[in-house]
Amino acid sequence: MTMSTNKPQPPLPYQGGCLCGAVRYEVNAELPRASHCHCSMCRKAHGAAFATYATVPRAKFRFTRGAEGALRSYESSPGILRSFCMHCGSPLSWSSKETRDADEVDFTLGTLDAPIGPPQQWHIYTASKASWYDIEDHHPQWPERKPEQQSPKTGDKTE
Ligand SMILES: [Zn+2]
Ligand SMILES: [Zn+2]
């Protein structure tokens, strides 16, 4: 997999966790892409203008602390689980039982400890973005979900 940056990446697995440290995770995959989701549910769940996720295969992401303790999840829509720390409230992951997503997990890139180089990025669900926020960067934007045929989930690894 080619990275869009020449900056050396820290060694795998990457470590991350919540604000208070009760939940920790590791990611054993490179993180070449990130999506900024502006949907109203992510804005509410994160208390922010948008939520930033990296998508990785489920087998490459695991909680190393708190999975049986501080980790909780909220089913924001049928089959959609948003995990968070019950102590400090950090949102940690988004996952879906939907077929096309069932083998993947989106984790919140802001909770990563590792200083990774900048991934390729895009904005999704911009049709429901916060009225007070202007997207002024050069990253591609999609009014809703990123179109299927251009999604990395369908095997397009060249972009
Ligand atoms: Zn916490
Ligand atoms: Zn969203």
Peptide bond into 119 cis (omega under 30): no
Q: How far is the CA of 50 from the centre of ligand 2 (A)?
A: 8
Rounded to the nearest angstrom, the distance between the alpha carbon of 8 and the centre of ligand 2 is: 30
46 lies in some domain: yes
Does residue 15 lie within any of the structural domains? no
Task: Say if 159 falls within a structural domain.
Answer: no
- Which ligand has the minimum distance to the alpha carbon of residue 23? 1
Range of the domain at 36: 20-153
Average predicted confidence (pLDDT) for the chain: 89
Q: How confident is the model at residue 6 (pLDDT cuts 50, 70, 90)?
A: low
**Confidence class of residue 149 from pLDDT cuts 50, 70 and 90?**
very low
Q: Is residue 5 part of a domain?
A: no
CA 37 to ligand 2 centroid distance, Å: 4
The answer to whether residue 10 sits within a structural domain is no
By C-alpha distance, which of 113, 134, 111, 109 is closest to 121?
109
**Do residues 60 and 29 lie in contact, with contact meaning Cβ atoms separated by under 8 Å?**
yes
User: What would you report as the CA-atom Rg of the chain, rounded to the nearest whole angstrom?
Assistant: 15
Torsion of CA 28, 57, 33, 95, to 10 degrees: -120
Does residue 3 belong to any structural domain of this protein?
A: no
Confidence of residue 159 (pLDDT cuts 50, 70, 90): very low
Task: Note whether residue 13 is domain-resident.
Answer: no
pLDDT tens sequence across 74-132: 999 999 999 999 999 999 999 998 766 679 999 999 999 989 999 999 999 999 999 99
As for how many domains the chain has, the answer is 1
CATH (domain of 136): 2.170.150.70
Q: What pLDDT was estimated at residue 152?
A: 45
Which tokens in the block code for residue 85? 């720390």
How far apart are the CA of 123 and the centre of ligand 2, in A?
A: 10
pLDDT score for 80? 94
Q: Which ligand is nearest to the CA of 90?
A: 1
Percent of the chain exceeding pLDDT 70 equals 86
Select from 81, 74, 83 the least CA-distant residue to 96.
81
Instruction: Quote the ligand 1 centre to 92 CA distance (angstroms).
Output: 10
Determine the 3-state secondary structure of 29 from DSSP.
coil
148 CA to centre of ligand 1 in angstroms? 34
| 11 in any annotated domain | no
Separation CA 154–CA 12 (nearest Å): 24
Q: Which ligand is nearest to the CA of 124?
A: 2
